Structure 1
Amino acid sequence: MTTPFDPAHQQASTVCLPPGNWPTVLDCLCDHFKGIAREQWLDRFARGRVLDAQGQAIQADLAYRRGMRLHYFREVPNEKPIPVEETILHVDDHLVVADKPHFLPVTPTGEYVEQTLLRRLIRRLDNPHLVPLHRIDRHTAGLVLFSANPQTRGAYQRLFPERRIDKRYQAIAAALPALEFPLVHRSRLVHGEPFFRMHEVEGAPNSETLAQVLEKNGELWRYGLSPVTGKTHQLRVHMAALGAGICNDPFYPRLLEVEDDYQQPLKLLAQSLRFEDPLSGEERYFESRLALDW
């Protein structure tokens, strides 16, 4: 008897086939994912890396059907190593807390699959059920909380949309002596061009950050940032909007075409997490061991 692939175990991506007139699943995938060559899809099919909703490998000539749910495995040939190392701060039956270094993505995206915090932790802990409960972007360092148990995942996931978790960040940026701190910055953030870059527009605010000054060092200050909401790049955009883009930020206030410089990381750190455990009711507090230098 052949044991089917378990998409959750293998960390597969999932797609529901869109409406169209393709004769086969292969034709649909090639047209839908234009950046992936037909030869690469054929190779994935041949190696059993495209599965149906039940986790069974399918053939490339399977007839297309609208809404068909498929699992596939993202692969990046010759993936470039990222020369940084994560630290595991806490492990129990339900949660894993890791200190993510700068430049390491949390989950597979773009040119990164194996060189991500998620894949590294799955290998280190031999737990294919790990799922990040929130995200910090690749350039940001610090704490990331993972669910280790699908049975209790929902209870921890609800902490974030219900705003029952206190997240504190630190950033180093230019001094802002003309502003009075602490202050609250609210704005409406939307995706811009290129798609990954956020910007502020007129309209009802959908993002909010509390900023305070923790330390002064000449022309640079260390800021404490507490995001009330969790929009993409929120802290980076808000600091730039205040007139002090975070040091070494390649995206804000202006987009720079630069390669990763491991000696010049973004000066932004997810420094602490505090919440009441939804299972035990006890207060949980985690603090990063990383630090931002001047």
Structure 2
Amino acid sequence: MARETRQLPVPEGLEGMRVDAAVSRLFGLSRAVAADLVAAGDVLIDAATTSKSDRLSAGSWLEVTLPAPEEPLTPKEELVEGMDILYSDDDLIAVNKPVGVAAHPTIGWDGPTVVGGLTAAGFRISTSGPPERKGIVQRLDVGTSGVMVVAASERGYSSLKQAFRDRTVSKNYHALVQGLPDPIKGTVDAPIGRHPSAGWRFAVTEGGKHAITHYEVIEAFREVSLLDIKLETGRTHQIRVHMSSIGHPCAGDPMYGCDPNLAKRLGLIRQWLHAVRLGFHHPSSGSWMEITAPYPDDLAGALDKVRQ
């Protein structure tokens, strides 16, 4: 993309200010980006290059070649192996999202996405929403598999988006957790925020966002329990954080305190967590529908080992 060059006299209010600080303030750039521009020779004062620590004089002529605007994030159109279509019509598409697939493109992620996979498979997706998230009404973490719905029409987008916002969507997950929760049917009501010492993790924190998780034991084994979990809210890593906070982390989830030896014995290289069922009112007919997603091979295999 072409880069824009701006020219202006140095205002009196910036007299004596460092060049990098002035460029940062004038053009809304970070101090680091401003310093990089100076170092690259993209900042001229009276047609001469300068250094970032030089001081400005009012009335001098400042010429700055701004950084190229960021390319818009667009989904990479490629078929996604193992992403099964569970249901589709004119308003929505439901997929069984495999592990290792993101819902949509994000900065720093160049792997497969649900949106890119659907587009490559010839599905029409709603044009509503930001360019990189067209049709996306909900998300599943890259490391979590299961049923996920995408809007195919504008009507589908507005209806489903509102349903998720109003929490009228029923979201059920199955999780294999360590130990046996007591009580075997209960609720975790605890706010979730960034972990104070590791921002890439989440934790139950005093100033976090309201989060409620309901769970019920389906099967209990010697070392683990299979739970049916219903989410009332949808925070990042919610189930993993909440189950870990009560001493029952998901099997195969080292980020939240699982036993690595157990994970190895079960052949798990990711958390045993699967979005098994999604229920909502259809955007057109208004009738209640539920879509279920079978366990993927790695989770089914681990569960078989436990049952044996």
Same fold (TM over 0.5): yes
Q: In the alignment, is residue 72 of structure 1 matched against residue 71 of structure 2?
A: yes
CA deviation map 1:96-137 (0-9, x unaligned): 000011122222134433512221111112435352211111
**Matching residue of 1:175:** 179
SS of the aligned residue for 2:295 comes to: coil
Over the aligned positions, Cα root-mean-square deviation in angstroms equals: 3.6
**Matching residue of 2:294:** 289
| In structure 1, distance between residues paired with 2:70 and 2:156 | 24
Q: 1:72 to 1:83 in 2, by over 3 A?
A: closer
- Which letter maps to 2:167? R
CA deviation map 1:51-78 (0-9, x unaligned): xxxxxxxxxx9987xxxxx7723489xx
Deviation at 1:287, TM superposition (A): 0.2
TM-score by length of 2: 0.66
Contact 2:219/2:227 (<8 A) preserved: yes
**Matching residue of 1:213:** 217
| In structure 1, distance between residues paired with 2:27 and 2:215 | 52
**Matching residue of 1:265:** 270
**Matching residue of 2:101:** 104
**Matching residue of 1:187:** 190
Q: 1:148 to 1:128 in 2, by over 3 A?
A: closer
Contact 1:107/1:113 (<8 A) preserved: no
Deviation at 1:190, TM superposition (A): 0.8
Match of 2:233 among 229, 233, 245: 229
**Matching residue of 1:41:** none
Contact 1:176/1:243 (<8 A) preserved: no
Match of 1:115 among 103, 112, 115: 112
Structure 1 segments, 4+ long, off by >6 Å, are 61-64
SS of the aligned residue for 2:190 comes to: strand
Q: 1:158 to 1:220 in 2, by over 3 A?
A: same
Contact 2:191/2:211 (<8 A) preserved: yes
Q: In the alignment, is residue 242 of structure 1 matched against residue 246 of structure 2?
A: yes
Q: In the alignment, is residue 275 of structure 1 matched against residue 280 of structure 2?
A: yes
SS of the aligned residue for 1:137 comes to: coil
Indicate the structure with greater helix content: 2
Larger radius of gyration: 2
- Which letter maps to 2:33? D
Query: Tell me, which stretches of 5 or more residues in structure 1 are unaligned?
Result: 1-18, 39-60, 65-69, 257-261
TM-score by length of 1: 0.68
